[in-house]
Structure 1
Amino acid sequence: MARQSGRHFSGPRLSPEQAARQGRISQLAIARLGAREAIAFLNGNDEKLGGRPLDLAIESIEGLRAAEQRLDEWAEA
């Protein structure tokens, strides 16, 4: 019996639409803020948004738009 090596992800998979939104907000954040600050922005709890920008962007197109708008505000600060 052959053994499989590597990591196995057992969590929920993203739909193609969710993955596209995740990629879009991630790329925008990195382009605007640089990698280190983008990670802080995407994964930090944002009181104005009521959650993590990355989670909200993945959840819906409205969440993506709200995260994009907040990204603009974050980048200008």
Structure 2
Amino acid sequence: MNRPDTAERTVASSRPVRHFHKYRSPLSLDHARRQGDISQLAYLVMGGRDPAIAFLNGENVVLGGRPLAIATASPEGYVQVAEIIRSGASVPEST
């Protein structure tokens, strides 16, 4: 006969263990500002949350990486990504 406490332990032990890691260091103020600004620009220009997220998190052939990472990393990267968003050429270039 299974005791309830034994059954609970069996179920709990069969679940995958998930480890959550914090970022090693928080974004600098400049990085955070660029990330917020490029996200807002994409949201407004691209017509909403879903297209903006898809573009910012997808690989972009022209940029050679993820637009969000490129825009966040440097002021020059921000300008490159912002120009692509404003030109409307972002959707075909994403993979």
Please confirm whether the aligned pair reaches a TM-score higher than 0.5, indicating the same fold. Answer: yes
Q: TM-score normalized by structure 1?
A: 0.81
In the TM superposition, residue 10 of structure 1 has moved relative to its aligned partner by 3.7
Provide the C-alpha distance between the structure 2 equivalents of 1:68 and 1:28, rounded to a whole number of angstroms.
7
Distance 1:9 1:28 in 2: 27
Question: What is the TM-score with the length of structure 2 in the denominator?
Answer: 0.66
Aligned to 1:43: 57
Give percent identity, aligned residues only: 44
Q: Give the letter aligned to residue 31 of structure 1.
A: L
1:70 is displaced (CA, Å) by 1.1
Look up the equivalent residue of 1:38 and give its one-letter code: A
The superposition leaves residues 16-61 of structure 1 with CA deviations (integer Å, 9 ceiling, x where unpaired) of 0000000000000011121000000100100000111100011000
Cα RMSD (Å): 2.0
Instruction: Report the equivalent of 1:12.
Output: 25
Gaps of 5+ in 1: 1-6
C-alpha distance in structure 1 between counterparts of 2:41 and 2:30, whole Å: 17
Contact 1:32 1:75 in 2 (8 A): no
Any gaps of 5 or more consecutive residues in structure 2? 1-19
Q: Size of the alignment, in residue pairs?
A: 71
